[in-house]
Amino acid sequence: MSFTLHDLAATIDARAAAADGDSSYTKKLLDKGAVHCAKKFGEEAVEAVIAAVDDDRTDLINESADVLFHLLVLLKSRGITIQDVEAALGARTHQSGLQEKASRKSD
């Protein structure tokens, strides 16, 4: 059985609804607010960048897991769901990234 980001998002939802900060790291982050969640996400992203630059495969995989967890917590802190993000990604599939970039330059 595979584990998905939807499973993790559901756990984060459950912790937000019913946990307390002494027993749940997720709830502890959410209780500190969106700005704190954003800072933690930024820290984890930088750690992933460092792992990539160092070409450390194991570190990059582990830091990527941290990044995805902290991104989902950040989204939760602002009332955004993974389905909202998937919808944004889905809306982009009609054109390539290069086409989208070119259309922005002519704005």
Ligand X SMILES: N=c1c2ncn([C@@H]3O[C@H](COP(=O)(O)OP(=O)(O)OP(=O)(O)O)[C@@H](O)[C@H]3O)c2ncn1[C@@H]1O[C@H](COP(=O)(O)O)[C@@H](O)[C@H]1O
Q: Give the nearest distance from C-beta 65 to ligand X in angstroms.
A: 6
Estimate the crossing angle of helix 57-77 against helix 82-91, to 10 degrees.
Answer: 110
Asked whether the CA dihedral 36, 38, 44, 50 is positive or negative, the reply is negative
- Residues lying near ligand X in the complex (CB under 6 A): 8, 11, 15, 24-27, 40, 43, 65-66, 69
CA–CA distance, 13 with 8 (Å, rounded to integer): 9
Least distance in angstroms from the C-beta of 68 to ligand X: 8
* Shortest distance in whole angstroms from residue 45 CB to ligand X: 11
> Given the complex with ligand X, which of 15 and 76 has the nearer CB atom?
15
Least distance CB 36 / ligand X (angstroms): 8
Report the Cα 7 to chain-centroid distance in Å. 13
Query: Is the Cβ of residue 17 or residue 98 nearer to ligand X in the bound state?
Result: 17
User: In terms of CB distance, is 14 or 87 closer to ligand X?
Assistant: 14
Can you tell me the distance from the alpha carbon of 46 to that of 48, in angstroms, rounded to the nearest whole number?
5
